[in-house]
Structure 1
Amino acid sequence: MATIAENVHGVREQIWRAAEKSGRDPQSITLIAVSKAVPPERLAECLRVRLNIFGENRLQEAQAKINGLAQYPKIHWHFIGHLQTNKVGKAVSLFEMLQSVDGAHLLDKINEQAQRFGKIQSVLLEINLAGEASKTGLRPDQLPEFLAEADRWPNVRLCGLMAIPPWHEDRERSRPFFAELRKLSLAMSRYERANVKLTELSMGMSHDFTVAIEEGATMVRIGTLIFGARQ
């Protein structure tokens, strides 16, 4: 069985190849280790190979890991799950970035809590590209009106977009959705202001991240290829 260090090396090689294939700088792509249900001691193995960005989707589990790894400096924690409004305060206190923001009311709460903690909270807006009822997220046509309101959230920095395409075994079936998210981001450039700079595209997971990189992903969220399958 491969070690976590070997798995991370393998993922980085795939990132490098996909970036070179599409004429991109591999250093422009951030690898996020999706660490849900992974114990702190296994995350420490990632830290030993300089992988220090983790994505969590459960607040209580994340807090235990953050406390358990407090002796390690410069760990970056991203929240990647559905965020309920009653959990916003805890999320803002724990996470550097919230990757799954899907509504104005939620952003009102995030802005309020960020003011309370004296921070500027980085967020990504989740886009539901296929209109799937099983997923949260803004419709693409809602984004312009949403960004036009950004001045009401001075303690929030809108850093980019996130999307998860419909699952399919053939990773090429994800490509049109990744391309659409990139085009949507570019089309929104006219809304740029102090707290709106949509430079990040978080898209692509273990089965399709190389395609996402070819279509412009700046962040990829990898769990299974690093830690193995989880229950």
Structure 2
Amino acid sequence: MLVENLNNINQKIQLACQKAQRSVDDVTMIAVTKSVESGTAKELAELGIENMAENRVDKLLEKKMALKNFSSIKWHLIGNLQRRKVKLVINEIDYFHALDSLKLAEEIQKRAEKEISCFIEVNITGEETKHGFKPEEVIEFIHELAPLDKIKIVGLMTMAPFDASEHDLHEVFSKLKKLQLAINDLNLLHAPCTELSMGMSNDFPIAIEEGATFVRIGTAIFRGA
């Protein structure tokens, strides 16, 4: 079942890339393993999946330990991170997708032993239930990060409303793309901002059409689409 689901996802990624005249090599699928046990995550690793994500610190550490023999896996923390837990996880991950405050950035700076690739979380739609900066706040925040040499802003992340129409999805994702390009044009060493983490199981083809470079897929892998 995993093989069939992964094949279906890869076909959808290829089709979306063709539609947008993009290379499939520009899109990385991250397997979000929060709903499965370590044994299933191991099956994915054996199938060649090399990017895995969790939204909770304890679960990420648990799975990383269980899959320690798969040294090529890149680990992504995609959930909101409490400052008191930064020291537990920040040196165990390759990417952090939910940087949403200066205080959190300062705690990461304090605890990190290496440069951390971070995505700034952007709340494009202004939903009260979602974390993240308003789009108009992001560039000022990036300038505030300049003294923090352990933080590298590789891109932006957002989540579209789950029940959004196709038209609204295109709008949300295209707005994040425009913001990413504006930041990239600033040519800041600490914020190259070349990446876009957007799109999940229900909307990743549209996210790819609008420029996603990382898509976060869970349900479609484990339950099918």
TM-score (norm 1): 0.93
The aligned residue for residue 37 of structure 1 is 35
- The 8 Å contact of residues 178 and 203 in structure 1, kept in 2 or not, is answered as yes
Pairs aligned (count): 224
Within the candidate set 171, 174, 180, 1:185 is matched to: 180
Once the 2 structures are TM-superposed, how far is the Cα of residue 48 of structure 1 from its aligned partner?
2.4
Q: CA RMSD in A?
A: 1.3
Partners of 1:23 and 1:65 lie apart in 2 by: 36
The aligned residue for residue 4 of structure 1 is 2
The aligned residue for residue 13 of structure 2 is 15
Counterparts in 2 of 1:219 and 1:188: CA distance versus 1, 3 Å:
same
- AA in 2 matched with 1:16: Q
The aligned residue for residue 46 of structure 2 is 48
Once the 2 structures are TM-superposed, how far is the Cα of residue 190 of structure 1 from its aligned partner?
3.8
- AA in 2 matched with 1:189: N
Fraction of identical pairs, as percent: 34
Partners of 1:171 and 1:49 lie apart in 2 by: 32
2:168 matches 1:168 = no
What CA deviation, in whole Å up to 9, does each residue of 1:149-199 have, x standing for no partner?
232211111100000012216344311000000001111224332221101
Within the candidate set 54, 58, 61, 2:59 is matched to: 61
- AA in 1 matched with 2:170: R
Partners of 1:198 and 1:169 lie apart in 2 by: 26
Partners of 2:179 and 2:159 lie apart in 1 by: 14
Partners of 2:178 and 2:137 lie apart in 1 by: 15
- AA in 1 matched with 2:79: G
Please state whether the residue corresponding to 1:160 is helix, strand or coil. strand
Partners of 1:142 and 1:79 lie apart in 2 by: 23
Q: What does residue range 16-165 of structure 1 map to in structure 2 within 5 Å?
A: 16-114=14-112, 117=113, 119-165=114-160
TM-score (norm 2): 0.95
The aligned residue for residue 214 of structure 1 is 209
Partners of 2:167 and 2:11 lie apart in 1 by: 20
